[in-house]
Amino acid sequence: MKRATLTFVAIVLALVACSRQSDLEGTWKNGDGNLIRFEGGGKAWLSQEGLSGEGECSWTRSGDSIVVTSIPSNDDPSWNTYRMFLVGDTLHFVSIGLHPREGEVYELPIEEFALRSGKPLYKLSFTRIGEDG
């Protein structure tokens, strides 16, 4: 009986972990028209509403914390990390890490980014607009 209970708990935990990963899949948009499309397997794509093209990224998740990392190209070896947390159906930015070259990073808290860009914080949060992942 004890073994069956442990097996059941392990199955439930695995299902919960899988469903939590998949609840990000789809397209998310912020108030500036920035888009993030999350796919399974840790792939994501960044784009801008009304513009063609997407930037390839990877993503990881630990609990409600999500990190999206842009993938450098041959033309531009720099990359960025976007740290966010998920609350309900909203992805809130925490910080942006700018990596102009290997071994160099500038971490910008989202409040500072909002001040520098002149954008209100609410415009920087993402909400789901599609389940196309």
Give residue 2's pLDDT: 55
- Beta partners for 48? 34
Give residue 130's pLDDT: 74
Mean pLDDT of 108-131: 90
User: pTM, whole model, 2 decimals?
Assistant: 0.77
> pLDDT tens-digit profile of 45-90?
999 999 999 999 999 999 999 999 998 887 888 899 999 999 988 9
37 half-sphere exposure, CB direction, 13 A CA radius? 13
CATH class (in words) of the domain with range 24-130: mainly beta
CA nearest to 96, candidates 38, 41, 34: 34
Report helix, strand or coil for 51: coil
Query: How is the chain split into domains, by residue range?
Result: 24-130
End-to-end CA distance of the chain: 40
